[in-house]
Amino acid sequence: MTILLTGGAGFIGSHTYVALTQAGHEAVIVDNFYNSSQEVISRLQTITGKAVPYYDVDVCDHHALDQVFQKHSFDAVIHFAGYKAVGESVGMPIEYYRNNLDSTLTLCEVMRERGVNRIVFSSSATVYGMTDDMPLKETMSSGGCTNPYGWTKYMIEQILRDVADANPSWAVALLRYFNPIGAHESGLIGEDPVGLPNNLMPFITQVASGKLKELNIFGNDYPTPDGTGIRDYIHVVDLAQGHLDACAYLMAHTGCEVFNLGTGVGYSVLDMVHTFERVNNVTVPFHIAPRRPGDIARCFADPSKAEKLLGWKAHKSLEDMCIDAWRWQSLNPNGYATV
């Protein structure tokens, strides 16, 4: 297969590039490096041993994107590109809606013009909103998101569902990610948040390295066994494989399907801290802080649909996730930046 990866230099996109290339497929990256580094491209070249086809193009730029489609014959597109910071989206809703929706619509227009009709979309468990009915199944209702970022995922899902309804030859897979963490085992690529990390694992790794003083645990009075929030953490390499399986599925099916990509198992914040400390032999100082607005007590997937229809399931353990995240942090104390 020849696959276009929009946002292919990002955290999940770069791991998916490796998975596709190592499985013998051709992957082409389009990224405007707004939230990612050019250094990713040379790291990908080191891992795969091949030149990386990439274009420094904004997906909102119809003309530039069309030129990429003219140069390659894509079997499918995996659409990762988009603004992704939950907290930032609350203060910048116009930018989030403009960028995430515009890029998707532009991509769909170019795909239609160039006769490419298979798309895998990078969605999120956040579209399930504030329910506490667990595990989450694809048949449950979505909506009630708590921030503009989540609403853009919800709206893009709806756009793609409508496109598939209107065009019976289209094939769409909406992948709802749970909490991707970890890194490629080479330690060459990983998560590189800009500024203070919002998410738990990059915060833990930066505390363990001494870059940050201590972790704030947002609430220990949730109705969970140890009182801290429970999430379904998934290794990014397992998640990347899910994209290959989704592309293979779309080669044989039309219409629109939604898939949860999670492990089905939830761990608390304290489980994460203690496992990280144990497997890496480090300490992660923390203190208990107030709950974070918009957080729910528990969130974990029913991943059985992906296993049944895609033949996909997560294999890597929480220990693997913690070891690989720490290797990435230790080898790259400043992420992709050289200083």
Positions marked catalytic: 149
Does 170 bind ligand UDP (CB under 6 A)? Our answer is no
Question: How far, CA to CA in Å, does 99 sit from each of 38, 135, 170?
Answer: 21, 31, 24
Which of 170, 177, 203, 276 is the binder for ligand UDP (CB under 6 A)? 203
Does 205 bind ligand UDP (CB under 6 A)? Our answer is no
Nearer Cβ to ligand UDP (171/269): 269
Nearer Cβ to ligand UDP (80/170): 80
Nearer Cβ to ligand UDP (115/143): 143
CB of 251 to ligand UDP, least distance (A): 32
How many residues lie near ligand UDP (CB under 6 A)? 15
214, two tokens: 């201590």
CA pair distance 285, 90, nearest whole angstrom: 29
For residues 104 to 143, the per-residue mask of contacts with ligand UDP, x marking binding by CB under 6 A and - elsewhere, is ----------------------------------------
CB of 60 to ligand UDP, least distance (A): 26
Tell me if 287 sits within 8 A of 213, measured CB to CB.
no
Does 236 bind ligand UDP (CB under 6 A)? Our answer is no
Does 227 bind ligand UDP (CB under 6 A)? Our answer is no
Which of 66, 271, 277, 295 is the binder for ligand UDP (CB under 6 A)? 295
Q: Which residue is nearest to ligand UDP (CB)?
A: 229
Angle at 132 (CA atoms; ends 177, 294), nearest 5 degrees: 70
Which of 240, 269, 318, 323 is the binder for ligand UDP (CB under 6 A)? 269
Helix 11-22, helix 39-48: angle, nearest 10: 20
Does 217 bind ligand UDP (CB under 6 A)? Our answer is yes
Nearer Cβ to ligand UDP (130/251): 130
Which of 34, 55, 218, 336 is the binder for ligand UDP (CB under 6 A)? 218
Nearer Cβ to ligand UDP (41/269): 269
Tell me if the bond preceding 293 is cis, omega within 30° of 0.
no
Binding site for ligand UDP (CB under 6 A): 179, 198-200, 203, 215-218, 229, 231, 269, 292, 295, 299
